[in-house]
């Protein structure tokens, strides 16, 4: 242990020189790294349990008071009540709090000065000068304490150690890096993980792309994910976080979802962002384009200049199994599927393709005719309401992998040649249906692709990487007119 009288080494501010973070303002202050992201992990939970690895404090943000040091291995619970957040430790009630409650990881930075006041350079480990003037290397800091300016002793975590929070669902736990926050929402508890964007990406890239894919594809995914989160920062600010951990933003699985290959791709593209007119792009991506990507306004509601449709021959490669799929519904099954998507009929008579996207590959608007729940004739054009989306709404409503499809219908009554099912029983006309009017019996959708079809196709990125294209070339192929910028925001 270092003593105050030892003059050969003076230890000042922070451990971040060891860990590669920027310098802290003062010893023991909370680390809020530049470009942190707040990720909404859980919403409307009635109860959340957690434990930690590393050094944490539990803080009441309403009063800025430290509630407790959090000992590794202890099991804590935060429970919702209309009055506030009820906090328990190993089954014992600690108290009720308005919140938010925060788990803050404690990280210190150490600058080492020689007896002459010169800072000692660091070459892999922490260096100090002994009394004989020779350099001493402190690679293992376990158990070492340092004295702050106020005379308090501060423990240094082992080099390379991690602060992790485990969130429990039943007996299953998933671990997350850095800090955690528990907030009251309208119906329960919202859990927010705050951490540096680069560490967040460690948990995103392997959740969005298989880690065994070629390195250039993984790098393209890393840059796309980094660009996307920067463009989306603050989207859910009213709920206390920036983005969600689900497909509504991009999938994030925390520390337990990380993989060395994808972490390497994140590290090798650190700070690299795809930009358009100087700003990070909302670099949306999907699994498989089915051979064509689309203009954003054909799939969703708005035109985005860098999200333009184009042929995608790279998407069809030996590893892509999302081609030539089929999905068949009876009329009754289709009625149930559409009801689950918010389109309610008592009977369905027919489906008519109204409009395709500008590439001609996806169904942009589909008319469904039949009887409403009131028994009256009803026709709904799915994809016509831009607030709900266009081709992507057609895909969602029908429960299909892609809107890149054709239809094969079997009708009863006076259907056109090739549409009738000769073996089908004659259906008694329902109320509001003219006698002999053709009526849907069954429909088969035949299509290719998986996802909305806008931006980067992940299987296309795989195909390009397999043919020797770089991640920069992949990104510029799928995002029109973008620049690949290093050290963005530095």
Q: pLDDT tens-digit profile of 463-472?
A: 999 999 999 9
d(C-alpha 484, C-alpha 482), whole Å: 7
The DSSP H or E segment spanning 298 is helix 296-299
314: pLDDT strictly greater than 50: yes
Tell me which residue of 163, 160, 178 sits closest to 18, measured CA to CA.
Answer: 160
Q: If you ran DSSP here, which 8-state letter would residue 302 be given?
A: S
Tell me which residue of 183, 200, 242 sits closest to 42, measured CA to CA.
Answer: 183
What is the predicted pLDDT for the residue at 120? 43
Structure confidence by residue, pLDDT tens digits, 234-283:
899 999 999 999 999 999 999 999 999 999 999 999 999 999 999 999 99
Q: Give the residue with greater pLDDT, 218 vs 435.
A: 218
What is the predicted pLDDT for the residue at 82? 85
pLDDT-derived band at 117 (thresholds 50, 70, 90) equals low
What is the predicted pLDDT for the residue at 490? 60
What is the predicted pLDDT for the residue at 45? 93
Tell me what the mean pLDDT of segment 50-57 comes to: 94
The DSSP H or E segment spanning 474 is helix 471-478
Radius of gyration of the chain (CA): 29
Tell me what the mean pLDDT of segment 117-133 comes to: 46
**14-23, 74-83, 425-434 — which is least confidently predicted?**
14-23
72: pLDDT strictly greater than 80: yes
Interhelix angle for 471-478 vs 458-466, to 10°?
Answer: 140
454: pLDDT strictly greater than 70: yes
What is the predicted pLDDT for the residue at 465? 98
Question: What percent of the chain lies above the pLDDT cut of 70?
Answer: 77
- For 403-465, give the DSSP string: S-EEEEEEEESSPPTTTB-TTSPPPPPPTTPPTT--EEEEEEEEE--BS---SEEHHHHHHHH
For the chain, the average pLDDT equals: 83
432: pLDDT strictly greater than 50: no
SS3 labels along 82-133:
CCEEEEEECCEEEEEECCCEEEEECCCEEEEECCCCCECCCCCCEEEECCCC
Tell me what the mean pLDDT of segment 180-185 comes to: 94
d(C-alpha 281, C-alpha 471), whole Å: 16
420: pLDDT strictly greater than 80: no
Tell me which residue of 322, 246, 250 sits closest to 287, measured CA to CA.
Answer: 322
Q: What is the pTM of this model?
A: 0.79
383: pLDDT strictly greater than 60: yes
pLDDT-derived band at 309 (thresholds 50, 70, 90) equals very high
What is the predicted pLDDT for the residue at 18? 30
Structure confidence by residue, pLDDT tens digits, 394-418:
999 999 999 999 999 999 864 444 4
136: pLDDT strictly greater than 70: no
**64-73, 105-114, 207-216 — which is least confidently predicted?**
105-114
pLDDT-derived band at 138 (thresholds 50, 70, 90) equals very low
Structure confidence by residue, pLDDT tens digits, 345-367:
999 999 999 999 999 999 999 99
What value, to the nearest 5°, has the Cα angle with vertex 485 and ends 41 and 456?
Answer: 60
Tell me which residue of 403, 381, 384, 407 sits closest to 392, measured CA to CA.
Answer: 403
446: pLDDT strictly greater than 50: yes
372: pLDDT strictly greater than 70: yes
- Please name the residues in contact with 251: beta carbons below 8 A apart, sequence gap of 6 or more: 204, 207, 208, 245
10: pLDDT strictly greater than 50: no
Question: What percent of the chain lies above the pLDDT cut of 90?
Answer: 70
116: pLDDT strictly greater than 70: no
Contact 443, 408 (CB under 8 A): yes
d(C-alpha 458, C-alpha 290), whole Å: 11
Tell me what the mean pLDDT of segment 274-302 comes to: 96
């Amino acid at each position: 242990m270092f003593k105050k009288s030892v003059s050969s080494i003076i230890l000042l501010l922070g451990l971040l020189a060891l860990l590669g973070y920027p310098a802290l303002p003062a010893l023991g202050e909370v680390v809020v790294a530049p470009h942190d992201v707040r990720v909404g992990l859980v919403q409307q939970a009635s109860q959340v349990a957690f434990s930690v690895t590393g050094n944490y404090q539990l803080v009441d943000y309403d009063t800025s008071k430290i509630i407790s040091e959090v000992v590794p291995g202890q099991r804590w619970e935060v429970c919702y009540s209309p009055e506030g957040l009820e906090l328990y430790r190993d089954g014992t009630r600690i108290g009720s709090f308005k919140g938010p409650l925060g788990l803050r990881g404690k990280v210190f930075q150490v600058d080492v000065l020689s007896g002459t006041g010169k800072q000692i350079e660091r070459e892999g480990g922490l260096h100090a000068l002994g009394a004989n003037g020779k350099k001493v290397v402190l690679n293992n800091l376990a158990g070492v304490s340092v004295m702050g300016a106020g005379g308090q002793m501060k423990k240094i975590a082992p080099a390379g150690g991690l602060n992790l929070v485990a969130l429990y669902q039943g007996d299953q736990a998933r671990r997350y890096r850095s800090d955690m926050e528990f907030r009251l929402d309208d119906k329960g508890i919202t859990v927010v993980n705050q951490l540096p964007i680069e560490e967040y990406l460690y948990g995103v890239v392997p959740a969005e792309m298989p880690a065994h894919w070629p390195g250039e594809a993984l790098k393209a995914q890393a840059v796309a994910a980094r660009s996307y989160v920067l463009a989306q920062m603050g989207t859910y600010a009213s709920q206390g976080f920036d983005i969600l951990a689900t497909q509504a933003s991009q999938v994030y699985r925390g520390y337990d979802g990380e993989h060395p290959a994808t972490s390497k791709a994140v590290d090798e593209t650190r700070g690299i962002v795809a930009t358009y007119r100087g700003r990070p792009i909302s670099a949306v991506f999907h699994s498989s384009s089915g051979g064509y990507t689309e203009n954003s306004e054909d799939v969703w509601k708005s035109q985005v200049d860098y999200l333009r449709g184009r042929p995608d021959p790279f998407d069809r490669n030996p590893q892509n199994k999302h081609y030539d799929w089929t999905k068949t519904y009876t009329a009754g099954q289709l009625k149930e599927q559409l009801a689950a998507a918010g389109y309610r009929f008592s009977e369905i008579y027919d489906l008519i393709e109204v409009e395709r996207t500008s590439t001609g590959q996806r169904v942009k608007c589909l008319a469904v005719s039949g009887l409403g729940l009131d028994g009256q004739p009803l026709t709904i054009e799915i994809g016509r309401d831009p607030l709900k989306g266009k081709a992507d709404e057609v895909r969602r409503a029908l429960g299909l992998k892609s809107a890149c499809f054709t239809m094969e219908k079997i009708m009863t009554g006076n259907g056109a040649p090739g549409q009738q099912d000769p073996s089908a029983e004659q259906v008694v006309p329902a109320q509001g249906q003219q006698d002999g009017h053709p009526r849907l019996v069954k429909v088969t959708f035949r299509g290719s692709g998986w996802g909305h079809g806008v931006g980067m196709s992940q299987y296309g990125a795989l195909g390009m990487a397999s043919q020797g294209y770089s991640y920069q070339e992949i990104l510029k192929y799928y995002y029109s007119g973008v620049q690949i910028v290093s050290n963005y925001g530095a």
